[in-house]
Structure 1
Amino acid sequence: MEEPMLTATQHLRIDRYLGELDGALGALPETERADVVAGVREHIQAALADRGEVTDADVDEVLRALGDPLTIAAEATGDDGVSGGPAVAAPGSGPRQLPLTSRDRTPGLVVALLGAAPVVLTLFAMLGGFFLLPVALIGGWTLLWLSPLWGVGEKLAGTFLLPSFGLVLFSFTFLVTGGGSEVCVSDSPSDGPESAPVCTSNNDAILTPLAAWIILGVLAIAAVVTAVVLVRHGRRRSAELAQSFSTGA
C-alpha cells in the first residue's frame, strides 16, 4: 500500500492521536500495544491513500470516524471503564492533555519570546539583556516551529517579522550614530591671543535619524500585525484541537 503524502502538521496530528491511543493502552503488554497502534496507523493510511492530495480536513475526518482513542483502548482491553479492568484516563488528565506546543497559551508565549523580549531586553542591554536575548529568541523559534498551530507561511513571518522591530531597536544607536566623530582645531599663533577652536564633524552614520525612524516604524507595524495574526490563528486552532480531543475527533 502506497503511503499518502502528508504535511508535517498532518503527521503531527496523526502522531498525537496514536500517542494518545498508546497511552490509553498502557495496561497492555508492549507487543500487544504496538500491534493495536500499528493496526490503527495502517487503517488511517489506507483511508487517506484513496483521497489523492490529502488536506487537513481529510485527516480530521478520518480521525473523527475512528472515534475517541480511549474508546478504542477500552475495546482492545475489554474494559468498560467501570469494572476493575485496566484504568483508562479520564478526559483532561494524562494523555488527554494537549501538549505544550498546542495549548491555548502557546501563541502568547511565542509572541512574548520573539516580539516582546527583544524590546524589553533592549532597555536592559547593559544589565544582561545582550546575553538573554539569544536565549529568548532560540526558545521562541523552537516553540514556533514545533507547534502545529501555524502553517509554514505563518511560521516564516513569525521567525523574521515578529522579532525584527526589537532586533533593529537593539542596534538603533549604532545605525544612527555609528562612525560619527567631531574634530576641533585651534588655530592661534604661539605669541598671540588664543582663538576659539574650529570644529568639524565627520558623520559616517549608516542611516540618518529620519531613515532609522521610518524603518523602525515599518518594522513595528509588521511585528504588531504578525503578533495579532499568530495569536488569533494560534488560539483558534488550539481551541479546535482541544475540542477534537474532548469529543474524540
Structure 2
Amino acid sequence: MTAMEEPMLTATQHQRIDRYLAELSGALTELPAGDRDDLLAGIREHIAAALAGRTEVTDADVDEVLSALGDPLAIAAEATGGVPGGGPGGGPAPTRAAPAAPAAPTLSRDWVPAVVVLTLLLGPIVLPFLVSFGGLLLLPLLLLAGWVVLWVSPLWTPGEKLAGTFLLPAAGTAAFIAFFVAWDTSGTGSKYCEGGSTASGGYTETCTSGGGSDSGGSAIALGVLVVIAIASLVTAFVLYRNGRRRTDALAQSFSTGA
C-alpha cells in the first residue's frame, strides 16, 4: 500500500495476520524464493487494503478478512499447481503433522473475567468483616492483585479498566459504611435524661429522645450509597460480559490459527 493509509492494528491483530502468512509461507517451500516473497507481499497488501476502510479495526474484522482469503494450504496448492509443498507438476509431498494451535495468553483465558470481578467486587464486602482472620490486612493485597490483572489483561478497553478500578470496589465500600452507620445510630446514645431533687426531698428524672433532626441527611447518605452500589453492580456485569465475549473470540482465533 503506497497511496492508502495503513490501518491501525493491535499487537494481537498483527500476530494473527503474521501467523496466517507464516503458515502460507511454510506451504510454499517449493516455490522460488522470489515468487514466494511476491505472493506473500501481495497477500499482505490485500489484507491491509481490506482493513483500511474501517474506522476502527476489531478482532472480528481481521477474522473476517482472513476467512475470506481462505485456507493457506488451499492458496499454496493453487499457487504451486498441486499439493502444497509438493514438487513441480503437483506431485505428492510427504505427509506432515499439522502444528499445534498456540494457546491463548494466560491473562486472556476464560477464567480471568470471573476472577477480576469477584476479587474487586466481593473482596471489599467480605474481608472487612473477617477481622479475626486478618481480613483488613489481606484486603489491600487482594485489591492490588485484582487491579494488576485488570490492567495487564488485554480483555478490556482503557475506559472499562478505569471504571473497574474505581467502581467495582465501590459496592463493598458502600456496604461497609452503611453497616457501621446503622450500627452507630441504633445505640442508646440518642436518649438524654436529666434529674434533680424536688422541693419535697424526692428525686425526679426527665428523658428526651434526639436524633430526629438529622433524618434528612441520613436519607440522602443512604440514597448516595444505593446509587454507588448499583453503579458497582452494573460495572461488574459489563466487565464480565465483555471479558467473556473477548475470551471466546480469542479462543476461537487461536484454535483456528487465524
TM range (shorter): 0.5 to 0.7
Query: CA shift at 1:121, angstroms?
Result: 1.7
Q: How does 1:119-198 map to 2 (within 5 A)?
A: 119-125=125-131, 127-173=133-179, 175=181, 184=192, 186-189=194-197, 192-196=201-205, 198=207
Change (3 A) 1:198 1:66: same
CA distance in 1, matches of 2:218, 2:133: 26
- Residue 224 of structure 2 corresponds to residue 224 of structure 1: no
Where do 5+ consecutive residues of structure 2 fail to align?
Answer: 23-39, 73-84, 86-93
Q: Equivalent residue of 2:161, what SS?
A: helix
Q: Is 1:154–1:230's contact at 8 Å kept on the other side of the alignment?
A: yes
Change (3 A) 1:97 1:176: same
Normalized against structure 1, the TM-score is what? 0.61
Which residue identity lines up with residue 217 of structure 1 in the other structure? V
- Residue 96 of structure 2 corresponds to residue 90 of structure 1: no
Q: Is 2:171–2:233's contact at 8 Å kept on the other side of the alignment?
A: no
Query: CA shift at 1:18, angstroms?
Result: 6.8
C-alpha RMSD of matched pairs (Å): 4.5
Change (3 A) 1:173 1:203: farther
**Which piece of structure 1 moves more, 162-171 or 173-182?**
173-182
Give the greater-gyration-radius structure (CA). 2
Change (3 A) 1:153 1:51: same
CA distance in 1, matches of 2:221, 2:132: 22
Query: CA shift at 1:204, angstroms?
Result: 10
Change (3 A) 1:143 1:67: farther
- Residue 225 of structure 2 corresponds to residue 239 of structure 1: no
Normalized against structure 2, the TM-score is what? 0.59
Q: Is 2:169–2:232's contact at 8 Å kept on the other side of the alignment?
A: yes
Query: CA shift at 1:171, angstroms?
Result: 2.6
In structure 2, the residue matched to 1:28 is none
Query: CA shift at 1:110, angstroms?
Result: 0.9
Where do 5+ consecutive residues of structure 1 fail to align?
Answer: 23-39, 69-74, 83-87
In structure 2, the residue matched to 1:55 is 57
Query: CA shift at 1:104, angstroms?
Result: 0.9
CA distance in 1, matches of 2:124, 2:45: 43
In structure 1, the residue matched to 2:11 is 11
CA distance in 2, matches of 1:100, 1:145: 14
Query: CA shift at 1:166, angstroms?
Result: 0.7
CA distance in 1, matches of 2:223, 2:246: 35
CA distance in 1, matches of 2:13, 2:152: 12
Q: How does 1:94-113 map to 2 (within 5 A)?
A: 96-113=102-119
Query: CA shift at 1:90, angstroms?
Result: 2.5
C-alpha offsets along residues 81-116 of structure 1, whole Å, 9 cap, x if unaligned? 44xxxxx8623xxxx222221111111111101112
